[in-house]
Amino acid sequence: MVKRVVFKEEHCKSCELCVWVCPKQIIRIRDELNALGYHPAFVSNDDQEQCISCAMCARMCPDAVIEVFK
């Protein structure tokens, strides 16, 4: 499985902008907290293949959490 989108979850502040902008609606929020005390965003391994590498999530993220691969 090749990951198309990777989240540096330790930097996420759970603003959910990426969740709302993703055209495939595959970004979800974890139940667990990161070290900053926020619920980080992620894309599950099963949903990675649905990612179209549009990078809208990465452009929207104010904390540079997301890296997108083509």
Q: Using CB under 6 A as the criterion, which residues of the chain lie in contact with ligand SF4 when the complex forms?
A: 5, 7, 12-18, 21-24, 26-27, 41, 43, 51-57, 60-61, 63, 65-66, 68
**Alpha carbon of 62 to those of 1, 10, 37, 39, 45: distances in Å?**
28, 14, 17, 16, 24
∠ CA 31-51-11, rounded to 5°: 45
> Closest CB to ligand SF4 among 16 and 33?
16
What minimum distance in Å lies between the beta carbon of 25 and ligand SF4? 8
Q: How far is the CB of 18 from ligand SF4 (least distance, A)?
A: 3
Least distance in angstroms from the C-beta of 11 to ligand SF4 = 7
Q: Look up residue 24 and give its two tokens.
A: 């495939």
